[in-house]
Amino acid sequence: MLLKQIKTIYHDIFKSYDHPALTHHIKKITELDVYLPYSSTFFCITNTQNLTFEFISKNMTSCIGLDKNSLLKEGMRQFWNRIHPEDVELWLKALNDLMVFTLEEIPIKDRQRMSYTWNYRLLNEAGSYVNIIQNTTPLEFDSDMKPIIGLAHYTVLDPKIKMPITATAKLLNDHNEYETKYFNNFSQKLITNGLSNRERDVIRLLTINKSSKEIAKSLNISPNTVDTHRRNILKKLNISSTGELIGMLKMNKI
């Protein structure tokens, strides 16, 4: 996929008309970065409106070898050029689906308590593709409470680890514990090709341990309809039980 196409799709996902101030966040995080030890993680402040990095921590160069000053100047475009070509389409779909889920399913009052995680492969300065797990917590929102400025943490894992592209959305609940609200494995082509949108919705909720009654309430359908979808899913995927389905999903065998 061409960089121009990536930019267009990415901009559509995060389209906004506001210009929030970043001064406070950058000042505090810059002060913190001085004291943090070197590790296999680094963090940035991402601006999805301007496609820029507003801040990059010192660990970035030690993790993937790239010059942070160059990335601060060139922005996300330079970073995107290093994503594995086979991952780009799934990565963009993951971002879009997370945004759609947030706008449709998460009440405005809860959006400041959300956290998002996804992964992809990135070419490091040494010429190897490493696994990147990115966790982004929103810092600023536009007038429609759409997250556009985020604190992004990047964890770098060995390239020998085989990782499907997944996306997760979690909500910090009243007990200050993160609760999974959304999960999807975007590398499972059989699921995306063989099932209806509603059946995929049911699978998504099953993977976060929702009961038929809870799924029915979430999707505004009857429990009997949910059970019908579950039977059809098992038949289409040639699986004998829901437990087997969930186990295979979590072990990435489908």
On whether both 155 and 202 belong to a single domain, the answer is no
> What strands, in cross-sheet order, belong to the sheet with 52-56?
52-56, 41-47, 147-157, 129-141, 114-123, 166-172, 178-185
pLDDT tens digit string along 159-177? 888 888 999 999 999 999 9
On whether both 74 and 134 belong to a single domain, the answer is yes
On whether both 62 and 122 belong to a single domain, the answer is yes
On whether both 123 and 232 belong to a single domain, the answer is no
Residue numbers of the domain that contains 235: 188-250
Distance CA 20, CA 50 (A): 11
Question: Which CATH number do you get for residue 210?
Answer: 1.10.10.10
Q: Is 203 exposed, middle or buried (0-12, 13-18, 19+ CB in 10 A)?
A: buried
pLDDT tens digit string along 93-134? 899 899 989 989 999 999 999 999 999 999 999 999 999 999
On whether both 131 and 209 belong to a single domain, the answer is no
Distance CA 120, CA 155 (A): 11
Give the pLDDT of the chain (254 residues) as one tens digit per residue.
666 677 677 777 667 666 556 677 778 888 888 888 888 899 999 988 888 999 999 999 999 999 999 999 999 888 999 999 888 888 988 998 999 899 899 999 999 999 999 999 999 999 999 999 999 999 888 888 888 889 999 999 998 888 889 999 999 999 999 999 999 887 665 455 577 888 888 888 887 778 889 999 989 999 999 999 988 888 877 677 777 777 666 555 44
On whether both 115 and 8 belong to a single domain, the answer is yes
Q: Which of these three, 183, 211, 235, is where a domain ends?
A: 183
Closest Cα partner for 48 from 78, 89, 12? 12
Q: Do 230 and 211 meet the contact criterion of CB atoms below 8 Å apart?
A: no
